[in-house]
Every structure is written in structure tokens, then in C-alpha cells.
């Protein structure tokens, strides 16, 4: 019997693109082309943005909202510094609130997004207890699901875990609000475990690393538990935990019109179950033009570091960025990743919140030069020099250290 993973036919690997497939693909392309002019003729949008980059209205939401322009009386849109609101609260104000009191914010923001109001002390404590109660996997899940054929991509690994949870839920197809809420709170609790355990399995099978599985601790926040489970010695600094918590907060929602949220709207409209819906949304989020842009940012900076000798030499950096834009370097796409989300016109509020804390972490870890490189790339790529006015085509991502 052929192996499930290789499925060989003679000496031919299952995943190989054969000459016959190439021949058929040309026929497929030839007979499945739509004249681009028809999209304008019938006013059909090819995605969640029109040809001018303006977002396409796909629904209504009271969960979150993005501001990036002011509209003048004559209809002209005037660029503004970006602002992001969760249930009417400015995210920057939310972050100032919990950081000024030296506490974690993700659980509070999850409550706000789910229920439409900020929790009091008692409500937040009960919600955290609920998250902790659900922060456990079914018996044998790690062995039977996570450890079997671990994926090379963490988003794929998480999707598989989410979809498999259907088999462990006796009320999986119940789409009543109480049951869907129960499922969603469970998934919020389990996502850190899916992520960390999936990564540990990958390192064990693909990178020949030791396999260490830590169970989450009830007294820790979501951010702390991620670091506790991720590290072999379970140790982390307070700044690391605060920064990760902030990352969870500022990525918790984004205006309701993004690709993965739109996917959720589309899939739920068929009446399908929660696990199928979230797995589909994760598939959308994985794409390099959505959440997967993070991976592009990391790979792009690895490439830049390999070709730049002086991280403080702006001329050297600019010259290499020009090569990237001219499709002569990195992935050949002509894109610079990581310059903020495309929906914002001047600045991304999440970057404003995040940057100072990332700089502090770079000092704590002795990586100031690396942070300097990131800052220089940001400054140069976002400049208004003739080079970048003519050539730049920036794509969303997250600047990370």
C-alpha cells in the first residue's frame, strides 16, 4: 500500500507537478479568462477594495471601526492619522488605561468585543475564570491530532485543530447564540494552546528539537500562558508579557470589513457550524495579502539583513529597497511589506501604540541595531522621495522585533 504522505506512482511524488498537469493548466488558463474591462462595465468588485484602493462596503458592524479620512463637504477625502475603535472606545485610550494600571488587557478587550461593554472588576474576574475553565484540550488531542503529521505552517496547524474540535463537541451543529458563544469562548481559550503545541510539534519533527509540552497555568494571563508554554524553561520577563498582551489587544479586531471577517460572514450565512466557519476564516487569514503578510515581513527583513552591512546607513538601505521595488531583490514582487495596513492613509494607530514598547524590548534584549534597521526601513519606505512616489507599492504587515 502506498504511503498516505508520499502517494508515489513509480518514482513520481504525489506533490510533483507533472508535464501533463502543466499541459492541462495552460488549457485551464486559456479557457477561464474574463476580460478585465467587464469588471468596470458591470461595477463588479474583484475583492474588498476597488481599483482606487478604497474599501468596498460588505456589511454593517458595531464591533469596531477604522478612521483614516475626513470627508469634506464637496466629497473630497482628506487623509488623517488613523484611529481604531472597539465598541466606540479608542484603542489607544484602552491601551493607556490598562498599561497605566500595570495590568493585562487582552481578556478585558475580549469581553468588550463579545458583549459590547467594558467589564467591572467582578465581571472580568468571572470571565477570566471561564477562560481558564475552558483552557484544556480533550483527552488524547495532543497525541492524536497535534502530534500527527505536524504542518510546516502554524496557521494550517491551528485550522486543523479547530476543525477537529467538531468531533469532540456533542453540540457542534447547534447555532443558537448561547451555544455559539460557548464555542467561541472555548476557542479563545484554546488558540494559545493550538499555536504553541503546533509549533512545538513542528520543531520536534522538522527541526529535530526536543519536545517539551507545558500545561497552561490558571493564575496567568493569556499572554503569560503563551510565553510560559512556549519557553523550555517557562521563563519570560514582565516586558515580554506586556508587549505580547498589547499585540493581542491591538490585533483583536480591525473594522469588521477585513478578508477573514468577511469570510466569516459568508460562511455563517449558509448556517454551517462554528468550527467550519472559524477554520475558513483562518484559511483567509493565512494568505500573504492578509494575516500572512506578517511572515512576508519577517522573511523580507531576513533578506535585507543578509544584504545590508550597516543598519544605520540610510543610503545603503534605500539602494536595496529600490532593488526590491524594481523586482530585482527579495521575492521579485516589487513590494515592500510591513509599512502599515493599507486602509490607513497617514499612520496606523497600532504602530503608534506598539513602537515605543518594541524599542524598550530591543534594549532589554540587546538588539538596538536591529530595531534601528526596522526604523530606518520604515522612514525611508514611507518617505515622499521621487523614487518611492513612482515605485513604491507598500503592503500590510506588522513591524516586529
Q: Is residue 31 domain-resident? A: no
Indicate whether 384 pLDDT > 90.
no
**Cell 520604515 -> residue:** 378
pLDDT digits (tens, 9 = 90+) for 224-239: 999 999 999 999 999 9
Assign residue 108 the CATH number of its domain.
1.10.580.10
- Domain holding 350, by residue range, is 293-395
User: How many whole angstroms separate alpha carbon 362 and alpha carbon 356?
Assistant: 10
pLDDT recorded at residue 289: 82
Q: Is residue 12 domain-resident? A: no
Q: Is residue 185 domain-resident? A: yes
Indicate whether 102 pLDDT > 80.
yes
Give yes or no: residues 136 and 224 share one domain. yes
Give yes or no: residues 144 and 222 share one domain. yes
Residues 6+ apart with CB under 8 A from 7: 13, 14
Domain count, the chain: 2
pLDDT recorded at residue 366: 96
Q: Is residue 116 domain-resident? A: yes
Of 285, 308, 340, the residue that ends a domain is 285
Quickly state the pLDDT bin for 92 (edges 50, 70, 90). Answer: very high
Using alpha carbons, select from 125, 109, 78 the residue that is nearest to residue 353: 109
Indicate whether 220 pLDDT > 80.
yes
Best-predicted range by mean pLDDT among 69-78, 197-206, 282-291, 391-400? Answer: 197-206
Indicate whether 357 pLDDT > 80.
yes
Q: Considering only residues 33 and 192, tell me which one the structure prediction assigns the higher pLDDT.
A: 192
Give yes or no: residues 335 and 211 share one domain. no
CA distances from 75 to 59, 69, 70, 71 (A): 22, 11, 9, 6
Give yes or no: residues 93 and 169 share one domain. yes
Burial class for 246, CB neighbours closer than 10 Å (0-12, 13-18, 19+): buried
Give yes or no: residues 100 and 247 share one domain. yes
pLDDT digits (tens, 9 = 90+) for 168-179: 999 999 999 999
Q: Is residue 46 domain-resident? A: no
Residues 6+ apart with CB under 8 A from 136: 216
pLDDT digits (tens, 9 = 90+) for 68-90: 888 888 888 888 888 999 999 99
Adjacent-strand bridge partners of 84: 66
DSSP secondary structure letters along 48-99: SB-TTSPBPP----SSEEEEEEEE-TTS-EEEEEEEEEETTEEHHHHHHHHH
Q: Considering only residues 345 and 314, tell me which one the structure prediction assigns the higher pLDDT.
A: 314
What is the average per-residue pLDDT within 242-249? 97
Give yes or no: residues 159 and 91 share one domain. yes
| Residue 87 near residue 62, CB atoms below 8 Å | yes
Of 241, 257, 285, the residue that ends a domain is 285
pLDDT recorded at residue 45: 77
Instruction: Using a pLDDT cut of 70, give the percent of the chain over it.
Output: 89
Give yes or no: residues 299 and 374 share one domain. yes
pLDDT recorded at residue 255: 75
Average pLDDT score, the chain: 88
User: Cell for 295?
Assistant: 511572515
Is pTM beyond 0.75? Reply is yes
What is the average per-residue pLDDT within 269-297? 93
Quickly state the pLDDT bin for 54 (edges 50, 70, 90). Answer: low
Quickly state the pLDDT bin for 12 (edges 50, 70, 90). Answer: low
Q: Is residue 238 domain-resident? A: yes
**Cell 527583513 -> residue:** 301
Give yes or no: residues 125 and 247 share one domain. yes
pLDDT recorded at residue 397: 38
Of 285, 314, 347, the residue that ends a domain is 285
What is the average per-residue pLDDT within 176-186? 96
- Taken in order 229, 235, 237, 240, the sign of the CA dihedral is negative
Give yes or no: residues 205 and 348 share one domain. no
Give yes or no: residues 222 and 186 share one domain. yes
pLDDT recorded at residue 53: 63
Give yes or no: residues 212 and 91 share one domain. yes
Give yes or no: residues 306 and 257 share one domain. no
Amino acid at each position: 500500500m502506498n504511503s498516505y504522505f508520499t502517494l508515489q506512482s513509480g518514482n513520481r511524488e504525489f506533490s510533483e507537478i507533472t508535464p501533463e498537469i502543466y499541459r492541462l493548466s495552460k488549457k485551464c488558463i486559456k479557457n477561464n479568462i474574463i476580460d478585465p474591462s467587464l469588471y468596470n462595465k458591470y461595477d463588479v468588485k474583484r475583492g474588498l477594495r476597488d481599483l482606487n484602493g478604497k474599501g468596498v462596503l460588505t456589511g454593517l458592524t458595531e464591533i469596531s471601526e477604522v478612521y483614516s479620512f475626513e470627508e469634506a463637504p464637496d466629497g473630497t477625502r482628506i487623509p488623517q492619522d488613523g484611529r481604531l475603535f472597539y465598541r466606540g472606545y479608542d484603542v489607544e485610550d484602552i491601551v493607556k488605561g490598562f498599561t497605566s494600571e500595570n495590568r493585562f488587557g487582552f481578556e478585558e478587550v475580549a469581553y468588550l468585543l463579545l458583549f459590547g461593554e467594558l467589564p467591572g472588576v467582578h465581571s472580568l474576574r468571572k470571565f477570566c475564570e471561564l477562560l481558564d475553565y475552558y483552557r484544556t484540550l480533550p483527552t488524547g488531542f495532543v497525541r492524536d491530532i497535534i502530534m500527527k503529521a505536524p504542518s510546516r505552517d502554524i496557521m494550517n496547524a491551528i485550522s486543523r485543530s479547530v476543525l477537529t474540535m467538531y468531533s469532540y463537541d456533542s453540540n457542534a451543529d447547534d447555532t443558537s447564540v448561547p451555544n455559539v458563544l460557548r464555542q467561541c469562548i472555548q476557542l479563545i481559550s484554546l488558540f494559545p494552546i493550538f499555536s504553541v503545541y503546533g509549533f512545538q510539534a513542528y520543531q520536534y519533527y522538522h527541526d529535530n528539537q526536543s519536545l517539551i509540552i507545558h500545561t497552561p497555568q490558571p493564575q496567568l494571563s493569556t499572554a503569560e500562558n503563551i510565553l510560559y508554554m512556549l519557553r523550555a524553561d517557562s521563563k519570560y520577563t514582565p516586558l515580554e508579557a506586556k508587549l505580547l498582551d498589547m499585540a493581542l489587544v491591538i490585533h483583536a479586531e480591525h473594522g469588521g470589513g477585513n478578508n477573514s471577517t468577511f469570510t466569516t460572514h459568508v460562511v455563517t450565512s449558509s448556517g454551517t457550524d462554528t468550527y467550519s466557519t472559524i477554520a475558513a476564516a483562518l484559511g483567509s487569514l493565512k494568505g500573504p495579502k492578509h494575516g500572512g503578510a506578517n511572515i512576508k515581513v519577517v522573511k523580507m527583513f531576513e533578506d535585507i539583513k543578509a544584504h545590508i552591512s550597516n543598519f544605520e546607513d540610510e543610503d545603503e538601505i534605500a539602494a536595496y529597497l529600490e532593488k526590491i521595488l524594481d523586482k530585482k531583490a527579495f521575492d521579485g514582487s516589487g513590494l515592500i511589506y510591513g509599512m502599515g495596513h493599507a486602509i490607513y492613509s497617514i499612520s496606523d494607530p497600532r504602530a503608534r501604540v506598539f513602537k515605543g514598547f518594541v524599542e524598550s524590548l530591543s534594549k532589554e534584549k540587546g538588539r538596538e541595531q536591529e530595531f534601528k534597521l526596522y526604523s530606518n526601513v520604515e522612514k525611508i519606505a514611507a518617505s515622499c522621495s521621487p523614487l518611492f512616489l513612482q515605485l513604491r507599492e507598500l503592503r500590510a504587515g506588522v513591524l516586529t522585533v
